[in-house]
Structure 1
Amino acid sequence: MSIDGKQSKQVLLKEYERLFEVLKYSMHELPAGVIWNPNAATTKQCAELLNDLYQFEALSNELGIEHDKFIQGCSWHLEHYPHYLSRQKHFSGYAQYIQERNGPLRVSA
């Protein structure tokens, strides 16, 4: 997405804010897990959230808003949570999985 005659900065900012809220919500239950609506995210939903994260990163860069640490934390969880789901019987919970891989227990904006 780029700012041009068809898409004003205000429209981009609105989409940026929507994606930011979606991503913050998906991370708010950490270290219990990644959330999709009221439930834990599935592998497919993590892929959708990862696409949202890529859009959010592009918008952040275009708008000049720095969120590198937040983006890195979200990326870690959205890439690792599907693996955890496929092997969760081997762990006492997602927190153990995170700790064993030196991942971030929390992601803050």
Structure 2
Amino acid sequence: MSPRETDRARYERDLSWLWAAVHELPSGVLWGTDAASREHCDEMMAGLQEFERVLHRLGLDDHGEFIEGCRWHFEHYPHYLERRRHFIDYATYTRDRRGPTTVPLPAKRPR
């Protein structure tokens, strides 16, 4: 498999699991079928950074809204979890902090 084919496969795999983590917003961030933990969010941040490197290698520069939305939630969800007794729910927490209530799936895919 060529490096480009490897990156395309990595792109599809990573996009799939990153999207799975945020597709239920504004209810919360998922890890599989369960709510993510602080450790899961740390892992997802590391995965998001690798995804950005793959995007760069593939020449895809139109995923900014997806990346920034994921980053916002992976950074803020642990804070919410630690203090959730102070909040009505994650949707309210997100709105109160002017965060994105959804993360759009990127339209462009690598060729």
Q: Structure 2-normalised TM-score?
A: 0.90
* Unpaired stretches in structure 2, ≥5 consecutive residues: 106-111
- Structure 2 equivalent of residue 55 of structure 1: 50
- Residue from 69, 72, 80 that aligns with 1:73: 69
1:46 partnered with 2:41: yes
CA distance in 1, matches of 2:59, 2:89: 37
Distance of 1:63 and 1:32 partners within structure 2? 32
1:89 correspondence with 2:85: yes
C-alpha deviations, 1:5-63, integer Å up to 9, x for none? Answer: x8520011101110000100000110000000110000000000011100111111110
2:30 alignment partner, one of 28, 32, 35: 35
Distance 1:98 1:86 in 2: 15
CA distance in 1, matches of 2:39, 2:98: 24
Deviation beyond 2 Å, 4+ runs, structure 1:
none
What corresponds to 1:22 in structure 2? 17
Q: Which runs of 5+ in 1 are unaligned?
A: 1-5
Structure-2 residue corresponding to 1:3: none
- TM-score (norm. length: structure 1): 0.92
Report percent identity of matched pairs. 42
